[in-house]
Structure 1
Amino acid sequence: MPALSLGAVSAWSAVGAYRDAFEARLRDTARALALAADREIGTHMAAITALAASSALDGDNPQIAAFEREARRAAAGLGTSLILLDATSLRQLINTALPVGAPAGAVSAADFGRVARTGEPLVTDLVIGAVARHAVVGVAVPVERDGVIRFVLAARLALPRLSGLLEAQASPGRAFNVMVDGRGHVVARSREPERFVGSPAPAWFMQGTAGRSSGFLRGPALEGQEVVLGFARLGSAPGWTVGTVEAWDSYTAAWRRPLQLLAIGGGLIIGLGAALAIWLSRRLLRPVTGLVRDAQAFAADSGEALALPTAEASRVAEFEALRLGIATANAALRARAVAKRQDDERRMLLVREVDHRAKNALAVALSVVRLTPNDVAPEHFAASVEGRVAAMARAHSLLAQDAWSGADLRTLAEEELAPHAGRIQFAGASTHLPPEAVQPMAMLLHELATNAVKHGALSSPEGQVALSWEVGDGDGGLRLSWAERGGPAVAGPPVTRRFGTRLIAQLADRQLHGRSNFDWRAEGLHFALSLPPLPATRRPDGSVRCMPAPKATCIPAPAPDRTGPVHPAGPPLRVLVVEDEVLLSLEVEAALRELGYEVVGPARDLAEALRLAVNETDLYAAILDVNLGGRERSFPVADLLQTRDVPYIFVTGYGSASALAGREAGSAAVLRKPYARQALADALGAVARNP
C-alpha cells in the first residue's frame, strides 16, 4: 500500500509535468513563429520605409516617373509589388504589378486611409487585391514631407511565403501551424493552405485569443477533429495571431502512459519483499561508490572541465564528511578555473581592441601624410605632418588617461594650444566630450591654430585669440567660437580654400555632425561651430566588447608599380564609400579619383549608407568600413548591396579573424588598416575580373 500510494502521487505529478511541458512547447513554438513572422513583415516594412525617404518625392513637384523606377528596382529586390497612392484621394499613382505606363486603379480607403489619417505604418488584414485578384496582405507607410503626409507607400506581402514560413517549422504527423489576421480570417497555414487561406477561424479560437498575448486552447479544427493549440500575438500586425496545433489524442497520449505504468506497477508489488533487500544493500553501497567516483574525477580533471560531485548525502558521518570535503575542494577549483578563463578572455579582448585602435590610428596618420599638400618645401611638409600627427597623439593620450571614456574640452584645448599660452583666452564651463569626438576636435583646434600662425592673429606679436564654448539650455548642443583680433588686416575670404580650411570644414560638418561658419572679418577670422547634443558616455567597467570575427585574408599590397584606372575606358564607374573617419574618407576619395572612379558619398553612419545603397543607381562597387562610430556595423548595407548584385569590399582595423563574423564569404575582398593604395586598386581590379 505505501508503494501504491507513492506511485499514485508520482504518477499524478508526472501527468501534470507532461501536460505542462506539452502546453509550454506549443506556446513556445507559437512565440517563435510570431517572432519569425514579425521579422518577415519587418523586412518589407524596413524596405518601403527606406524607399519612402527617396528624394524623388521631395518638393512641390515630385518626380513620380523617377520614383517609379526606384520602386520597380526595390520591388524586384523584395520579390513583391509596390503601390504609391495619393494621401488625399487614395488614388493609385504607381503599381509595380502593372506594366510601365498602364493606368493604375483605385484602392479602397478602408485599406490605406488610416495611414494617411494617422501617419502610422499599417499591416492590413486579408483583402482581395484589385490587381492580383486573390487574397493578399499589404504593409504601408506614410510618405511625409515638411510635416504633411503627401503619399502612402505600400507593398504586397506574399501569403505563400508566410505559409512556407509556417511549414518550415511544422512538426511531423498531424501537427500544423496557422496564422489568423485581426478580423479572424486564416492568412497562412502550414497544411493545405490553398484550401483554408481566407476561411474564417473557429469562433472558440477568436473568443479564446481575445485580449490575450499568448495562451493554450482546445476546440474543433476547421477539418472537424478535436485539437489543442498554443498561440501568440504578432507585434508588427495588431490583432494577428499565430497558433501551433496538435491533435487531441496526441496530447492525451503524453500523460496516459504514466497512468498505465501505475496500473502495471501495482501488479509488481508482490515482488516488493525480494526487491527491498536489494534496495537496502545498494543504499549502503551507493555513498561509497559515489565517493570513489568523485575522488577519481577530482584526481583526473583539471581546469574548467572539473566534474560536479555526484555522491548522494549519507547518514554515515564519516562518509558525509568526506563527501563534503571533496565537494568543497571541487567548488574551489571550479571557481578558480572560471576566474582564470574570464581573465584570459578579458585579456584577449583587450589585446584585440588595442590592436584595432592602434591600426585605425596608424591609418589616420597615414592619411594625414598622404593628404598633406606636398607642393611645398620639404621642411614645411614635414612640419605640417608632424603637427597633425602630434595633435592626434595628444588626443590619444587624453583618452588613455580616462580609459577611453572621453575628455574634458578645456583640458583638450589647453593641451592642443599650449604652444600659444598667454595669447589665447579660454571661456567655457567644464564640458565632457565623448571619445569619438575627441580626436576630430583636437585636429580642428590644431588646424585653426596653424592657420592663425601662418595667416592670422598669431602671425603678429600683438595678435590674440578668444576661444569660448557653451552648452545650449534648450537643445543641449555645444556651441564653440574662435575669434581672432590684432593680426594682419583681412581683406575677405581667401580666393582658394587651403587644405587646412577644407579639413576644418570636413571635421566639423561630417565627423562631428555639426555646422561650421567661417566669417572673414577685417580684424581677423571668426569661426563658429554648432554641434548637436553630445551623446551620454559611460566609463568602462573593466569589460571589453569586440565583434566576432571571420576567417578572412587580406589582399597583399605589392609595390606601387602601376597607376591609373583599373577599369575599361568609358564613363567613370561609380563606387559607394562608407567610412566614419573624415581623414580616411578624404584619402579614399582622392585615391578613387586618381584611379578614375566616381565617388558616391562618403557615408559616415549606417542610416546614410542605407539611403545611398537604396537610392543610388549604377553602382559598380562599394567600400565598406566594418566599424562605424564604434556602435554600428555596416553588415546591413552589405546585405542590401548583395540583393542588388553590387560587389563590396570590407575594410577593418581588427587584425584577428573575428571582425567580420563569417561575412567575408560574400565580399569581393577584405582590406585591413592601414593599407596601401595599390591594395585598393588591386581589390577593385579583382571586381573587374570577377563580374
Structure 2
Amino acid sequence: MPTPIGDGAARRRGLRTHIVALVAAALIPAFAVGAIAVAAAVDSYGRAFEDRLEDTAAALASAMGSEIETHLAALGALATARELDGGASVGAAADLAGFHGRARPVADGLGTRMFLIGRDGRQALHTDFPPGEAPPIRASPIVDRVFETGRYGVTDLMVGRVTGRTLALVYVPVVRGGQAVSALGSVLESERLSDLLARQGFRDGVYATLIDGQGRIVARSADRDRYVGQRVRDWMAEGVAAAPSGALRGDNLMGERITTAFRRVPQTPGWAVAVAAPDRAYRAGLWRPLAALAFGGVAALAVALAVAVPIGRRVLRPVDWLTRKAEGVAASGGAVEIVPEGPPVRVREFERLRAAVVQAHLTLRERAAAVAAGEARLRAVVDTAADAIVVVDGGGTIRSFNRGAEAVFGYGADEAVGRDVSLFVGGEHAGRHGGYVAAYRRTGVRKAVGHLRDMEGRRKDGSSVPLDISLAEWRDAEGKQFFTAIMRDVSERKAAEARRALLAREVDHRAKNALAVVQSVLRLTPRDEPGAAAFAAAVEARVAALARVHSLLAEGGWAGADLRAVAERELAPYTAAPRRRGAPAPGPLVSLDGPPVPLAPAAAQPIAVV
C-alpha cells in the first residue's frame, strides 16, 4: 500500500508559519508607507495649522479695518457739515454749537467720542463736553501731517488725557476751498477693539493681538488688562515690519513658545493683527490623530496575526482532507468515487477538475442570480422614477417606456413601444431628430449624447411640454446600439423663470421711474447760488449713469455685469464722435481692451457713479 509522503503535522506547522510570514511581509511595507504617510500628515497638519492662523489673522485684520473705515466714514460725512464752514475759530461758536448737536448722536451711535481741532492745534469742540467747554488740550503731532497732506491719519497707542484709558485717535481733515481748515477726530478705544478680537471665541490658549506701528499692543483678546500697552517681543516686531503677512515662531511675553500668524491692517500703516497659538495647542491637536493612527496600526497587526492562524488551519484542513481522500483512493484500489460532497476518489486530479467545474457552475449560477437581482432593482427604479425614461434603438424605435413617461406624455407603454421616437418630440426638435441621428452615424461625433439639453416635447393631446433631456448610448451583448433618454418636465421651472424675468423688468421700470423723478427734482432746483448749477448737473449725470447701469443689470437678470459692458454703457454718451452731414459714421473716440472682469450687482452700481 502506498505510504503518504512527508509528515502532515510538520507540513501544517510549516504552512502556518508561511502564512504568518506572508502577513508580516505584506504589513511591513504597509507600515513603512504608513510611517511616511504619518510624517507627511504631520507636515501637512503643520501647514494647515499655520494656514488656519493666517486665515484668522486676515479675517481679524479685515474686522479691524472695517472698524476704522466706519470711523472714517462717519468723520468724513460730518466734515462736510455747513457748521464747519467757519473753521474752528472762536467766532464760529454758534456754528460749532450746532455742529455739536449733529456730532453727538453719531459719536454715541459708534460708542466713541468726537472732537474738533483747529489749525493752531487746540481742541475747539468735544462731544463729551458742552459747546465752548472743551478742555484746551493740544492735539497729537499727527494732526500736523493731516493738515499738510489733507489726508486722514491714525495715531499709535496712547493714553487719553481726559479719561486715562488706552486708545488710538482717528483724524479726518475738514477741507474748505482746497485747504484743511480744521481736523475732526474720533477715539478708538482699546477695550472695544479687544472685544472685537475676543468675539472670535479662541480656545486652547490661542489669542489675538492688535499691534501698532511702534510694536505696542493696542488690543488683546485675552489678558487685556495685563498686556495692553506693552511692547511685543523684538522677533515679532521685526517680522511684522518686514512683510505684510506671514507666520513666525518664538517666545511670547510669558516665555511660552508660540506660532504666530500676522496680517497688516491696510487702513493703518504699521498696524497688524497677530494670532498666536502655543505649542501645547499644536501638540494637542496633533496628538489625537497620531494616537489614533498608532492604535489603529497596532490593532491592524494584532487582527492580521489573529486572522492568519485560523486561516492557516482553514487552508491546511482541505489539504489534509485531499491527502486523506487520495490515500483512501489508493487504499481502496480506486473503488471509491469522488463526489462534490467529499467522499474518497480514485484520482486526485479528477477531483480537482470536478471541483473546479462544480465551482464554476456555482459561480455562474450566483452571477446569473446577481444579474437577475440587478435587473430587478433597475426595473424597480425605472418603474418608480418620476422622470420619463425611454429606451430607443439605433433606428429610432421606442423599445421601453416607463410610467414616468406615461405621466409626462399621456401615452401608455403599449401605445408607445414599437413606434418612432418622433411620437413625443415636438416643435423644431421634431425635424432635427433625424438629422442628429444621421450625422452621428456618419461622423461618430456625439453632440447630444452625454449632455443635458432643453427640448420641447409633445403630449398625446397635442400640447407641448418643456423638457430637460439627457441621452446615454449603450450596446447589448450582440452589439446593437441603443439610447436611453431621461427627460424631466420643467414646466414649473420655466414658469418660475418667466415670473422672475417679469418681476425684474417691473423692478427696473419702477427704479427708472424713481430715478426720473430724482432728475426732475434736480432740474427744478434753483440754480441762482454759485456752484448750484454745476452741482445739479453733476448729480443729474450720476443719476443718469446709475439708470444706465441699472438697465444693464436688469438685462442680465441682476446676476452681475462685466466691467467692460459697464464702462462701454457709461462712456457711450461721451465717446461718440460727431458725425458730419454726408460723411460716413466715424468710429468711437475711445476703445476698451482687457480681460473680462465680472462684477457683482453691489459693485457695478458704485462704479457707474464714479
Q: How does the TM-score come out when normalised to structure 2?
A: 0.52
Aligned to 2:557: 544
1:190-269 equivalences in 2 (<5 Å): 190-267=221-298, 268-269=300-301
Distance, in Å, in 1 between the alignment partners of 2:54 and 2:533 is 53
Please tell me whether residue 132 in structure 1 is matched to residue 132 in structure 2. no
Q: Deviations over 1:4-36 (max 9, x none)?
A: 122122212321232222222111111111111
- Residue 281 of structure 2 aligns to a residue whose secondary structure is helix
1:329-408 equivalences in 2 (<5 Å): 332=470, 346-357=497-508
* Cα distance change of structure 1 residues 74 and 531 upon mapping to structure 2, 3 Å threshold: closer
Distance, in Å, in 1 between the alignment partners of 2:376 and 2:212 is 58
Aligned to 1:58: 85
1:72-471 equivalences in 2 (<5 Å): 72-87=104-119, 89-267=120-298, 268-269=300-301, 271-272=303-304, 332=470, 346-357=497-508
Aligned to 2:524: 506
Mapped contact 1:14–1:258 kept (Cα < 8 A):
no
Q: Write the letter of the residue equivalent to 2:558.
A: R
Aligned to 1:38: 65
Mapped contact 2:505–2:554 kept (Cα < 8 A):
no
- Residue 76 of structure 1 aligns to a residue whose secondary structure is helix
Q: Deviations over 1:614-657 (max 9, x none)?
A: xxxxxxxxxxxxx99x948xxxxxxxxxxxxxxxxxxxxxxxxx
Distance, in Å, in 2 between the alignment partners of 1:149 and 1:210 is 31
Q: CA deviation at 1:42?
A: 1.4
Unaligned runs of 5+ in 1: 278-283, 304-325, 365-435, 445-502, 517-527, 548-626, 633-691
Aligned to 1:14: 41
Q: CA deviation at 1:192?
A: 1.5
Q: CA deviation at 1:51?
A: 0.7
Q: Write the letter of the residue equivalent to 1:82.
A: M
- Residue 242 of structure 2 aligns to a residue whose secondary structure is coil
Mapped contact 1:57–1:67 kept (Cα < 8 A):
yes
Q: CA RMSD, aligned part only?
A: 4.6
Q: Write the letter of the residue equivalent to 2:502.
A: V
Mapped contact 1:234–1:241 kept (Cα < 8 A):
yes
Distance, in Å, in 2 between the alignment partners of 1:83 and 1:271 is 75
Q: Write the letter of the residue equivalent to 2:109.
A: G
Q: Write the letter of the residue equivalent to 1:15.
A: V
Distance, in Å, in 2 between the alignment partners of 1:120 and 1:239 is 17
Distance, in Å, in 2 between the alignment partners of 1:344 and 1:208 is 59
Q: CA deviation at 1:106?
A: 2.8
Distance, in Å, in 1 between the alignment partners of 2:50 and 2:80 is 45
Q: Write the letter of the residue equivalent to 1:64.
A: L
Mapped contact 2:150–2:179 kept (Cα < 8 A):
no
Distance, in Å, in 2 between the alignment partners of 1:79 and 1:127 is 18
Mapped contact 2:246–2:261 kept (Cα < 8 A):
yes
Higher relative contact order (CA 8 A, sep 6+): 1
Q: Deviations over 1:411-433 (max 9, x none)?
A: xxxxxxxxxxxxxxxxxxxxxxx
Q: CA deviation at 1:138?
A: 0.8
Q: Deviations over 1:229-276 (max 9, x none)?
A: 222111222211112222201112333445445544554435447779
Distance, in Å, in 1 between the alignment partners of 2:210 and 2:234 is 15
Mapped contact 1:346–1:544 kept (Cα < 8 A):
no
Mapped contact 2:262–2:274 kept (Cα < 8 A):
yes
Q: Deviations over 1:292-330 (max 9, x none)?
A: 999688887778xxxxxxxxxxxxxxxxxxxxxx99899
Aligned to 1:421: none
Q: CA deviation at 1:97?
A: 3.1
Q: CA deviation at 1:198?
A: 0.5
- Higher helix proportion, which one? 2
Point out the structure with max Rg over C-alpha.
2
Q: Write the letter of the residue equivalent to 1:90.
A: G
Distance, in Å, in 1 between the alignment partners of 2:195 and 2:206 is 15
Mapped contact 1:349–1:546 kept (Cα < 8 A):
no
Q: CA deviation at 1:178?
A: 1.4
* Cα distance change of structure 1 residues 93 and 360 upon mapping to structure 2, 3 Å threshold: closer
* Cα distance change of structure 1 residues 53 and 299 upon mapping to structure 2, 3 Å threshold: farther
Q: Write the letter of the residue equivalent to 1:355.
A: E
Q: Write the letter of the residue equivalent to 1:36.
A: A
Mapped contact 1:18–1:254 kept (Cα < 8 A):
no
* Cα distance change of structure 1 residues 440 and 99 upon mapping to structure 2, 3 Å threshold: closer
* Cα distance change of structure 1 residues 36 and 531 upon mapping to structure 2, 3 Å threshold: closer
- Residue 121 of structure 2 aligns to a residue whose secondary structure is coil
- Residue 107 of structure 1 aligns to a residue whose secondary structure is coil
Q: CA deviation at 1:197?
A: 0.8
Mapped contact 1:97–1:131 kept (Cα < 8 A):
no
Mapped contact 2:124–2:132 kept (Cα < 8 A):
no
Q: CA deviation at 1:103?
A: 4.8
Mapped contact 1:346–1:543 kept (Cα < 8 A):
no
Q: Write the letter of the residue equivalent to 2:101.
A: R
1:467-506 equivalences in 2 (<5 Å): 505-506=523-524
Aligned to 2:31: 4
Mapped contact 1:91–1:107 kept (Cα < 8 A):
yes
Q: Deviations over 1:594-633 (max 9, x none)?
A: xxxxxxxxxxxxxxxxxxxxxxxxxxxxxxxxx99x948x
Q: CA deviation at 1:162?
A: 0.8
- Residue 210 of structure 1 aligns to a residue whose secondary structure is helix
Distance, in Å, in 2 between the alignment partners of 1:234 and 1:336 is 54
Distance, in Å, in 1 between the alignment partners of 2:306 and 2:211 is 59
Q: How does the TM-score come out when normalised to structure 1?
A: 0.46
The match for 1:27 among 15, 33, 54 is: 54
Q: Write the letter of the residue equivalent to 1:145.
A: R
Q: CA deviation at 1:189?
A: 0.9
Mapped contact 2:97–2:131 kept (Cα < 8 A):
no
- Shifted more, 124-133 versus 66-75: the winner is 66-75
Distance, in Å, in 2 between the alignment partners of 1:175 and 1:149 is 44
- Residue 141 of structure 2 aligns to a residue whose secondary structure is helix
Mapped contact 1:515–1:530 kept (Cα < 8 A):
no
Q: Deviations over 1:197-219 (max 9, x none)?
A: 10111112112222322222222
Unaligned runs of 5+ in 2: 1-27, 312-365, 388-448, 453-467, 472-484, 561-600
Mapped contact 2:57–2:262 kept (Cα < 8 A):
yes
Mapped contact 1:170–1:177 kept (Cα < 8 A):
no
Mapped contact 1:515–1:531 kept (Cα < 8 A):
no
